[in-house]
Structure 1
């Protein structure tokens, strides 16, 4: 029995050696030299054609891309998400509550307000020192009468932020007047359709904002400044009672000459600092801020044209 087993094992060993190299047929791994040469040439040609086809497809694909890194689809090309800007706010909640929109702090407690102050300090860093910089190749001073050129962007100076909405004042969190900062999301080629007369103002626009626009119109020679106006107010009657006076700096919105955004180097989006003077303590206040222009739609579900957050001051 053992001899038979050893004989079979020897036969298998001989068969494997013959498969690796058959001296009688001159075959290596079951193929002759000419067979290996033919299959080698085939796969070289096959993979060369595959690589060439891939290279051609990539070249065609890159021809469709903008050399300035602009997206293929811009506002007006697609659905509502491409036509309407969204608005964001700072400071953001702590990492463990990333989905929350609650700004909750203990008034005057330096340890507790540290997160909120550092969030705003980090956000404002790109804007710091802009007043001391030269115009450079792309950055220039702008106004309604002096619009930026095709390769220019408007300067935003951090010194425009006033009152307690400043880094030196810890953004009001060490006092009774906390600040938040609003900004519009960057949308390439999006141009605001601003209000040009009081008759164009929507009925839902808050009366305080309408009064402010009317005052600015009187100061501007009867013309409404070209702005994306901003309003913040309590969502419910109780919130409106507890929220207290609100101040905006440097403007009551975003000047239209900062738009459109074209991915030009040096661009800093305009921001609005909103200061809440004496909000009620120990009360959760629901706040909604909206951006106003004729081509901005307010959609709470998709968070378009507005932003919601809660403020709780202990």
Structure 2
């Protein structure tokens, strides 16, 4: 029994003697690591910083300086060659009118646009007789029509000429379009009809470089799905034009659904029910203004949301509601 106790005591003494040795060894390893890291940062004996001498850092710095300079020069040369294929001032390389673009069908736009907080909306909503409420719509149209008044600094009149079907614009010329051609309440002086319960919407075709409309040349060519009212109008204009169909991109507007057609009321157009073909093609000529069609809704039903769809008609204009090609949709609500 006494021998067992003596053995245990001896083992305890041995452990106590070994523990200080392990602690010293751990402290030495830590000190060595710290010293190695400091030596890596700066070795005073070899004069090395981060494992390299000054001459080594100089050589690698010069190498990368030359490498990235050559890379930047190569990129600049490639960009210069690329820009030689583009006409950045006038016509792009690929245009819809030449058939080498995926964009082959024009879209339509309308004014006035909703307020900035509802920029994605297509709702024209105003309170009849409330001057403060209609102010946004009137000011939006006033701003849009400024270039057509000749009061905008962005438009130069040096290339503008009077055009007709028999007098097309020459090279570097554009056809005149004036705000005074708009009739009825679709004028700035009439507040665009918003104070008279007969609001006006301005339509335009989006600009497509070198796109030329393929217009209808006879009444027999008119498509079956064209509204009968537009067919009758084209026939009337043809009779007035000595049997020749005017060269126009025709426009029709109507309620999108049967209920909307009932509520929308009479519609009138000015200066024409369409866009004359001599305004096309668009070639980015300074001073060019796209033709517009003013659509006046003479007696729309109050307190009813009316869905309206306007379409452009020509042989090479298709209609696609999902992509809004060849047509424009908006809602009208008059409180």
Q: TM range, normalised to the smaller chain?
A: 0.7 to 0.9
d(CA) in 1 for partners of 2:127 and 2:57?
79
Is the Cα–Cα contact under 8 Å of residues 129 and 158 in structure 1 kept in the other structure? no
TM-score, scaled to structure 1: 0.88
Task: Give the corresponding residue for 2:200.
Answer: 179
d(CA) in 1 for partners of 2:54 and 2:117?
67
Deviation at 1:50, TM superposition (A): 1.3
Task: Give the corresponding residue for 2:287.
Answer: 266
d(CA) in 2 for partners of 1:145 and 1:219?
16
Deviation at 1:65, TM superposition (A): 1.7
Change (3 A) 1:17 1:236: closer
Task: Give the corresponding residue for 1:211.
Answer: 232
Q: 1:281 aligns with which of 302, 317, 321?
A: 302
Deviation at 1:88, TM superposition (A): 1.0
Is the Cα–Cα contact under 8 Å of residues 90 and 283 in structure 2 kept in the other structure? no
Equivalent positions of 1:75-224 (< 5 A) are 75=96, 76-79=99-102, 82-129=103-150, 136-224=157-245
Equivalent positions of 1:6-17 (< 5 A) are none
Is the Cα–Cα contact under 8 Å of residues 156 and 287 in structure 2 kept in the other structure? no
* Higher mean C-alpha displacement, 44-53 vs 23-32: 23-32
Deviation at 1:218, TM superposition (A): 1.4
RMSD: 2.7
For 1:16-73, what per-residue CA distance to the aligned partner results, in whole angstroms no more than 9, with x for missing partners? 7765665644545543444334323322321222122212221222122224343333
d(CA) in 1 for partners of 2:332 and 2:61?
72
d(CA) in 2 for partners of 1:255 and 1:150?
18
* Higher mean C-alpha displacement, 229-238 vs 35-44: 35-44
- How many equivalent residue pairs? 310
d(CA) in 1 for partners of 2:33 and 2:114?
71
Deviation at 1:272, TM superposition (A): 0.5
Unaligned ranges ≥5, structure 2:
1-19
Task: Give the corresponding residue for 2:11.
Answer: none
Change (3 A) 1:107 1:24: closer
Unaligned ranges ≥5, structure 1:
none
Equivalent positions of 1:286-297 (< 5 A) are 286-297=307-318
Is the Cα–Cα contact under 8 Å of residues 138 and 194 in structure 2 kept in the other structure? yes
SS in 2 for 1:279: coil
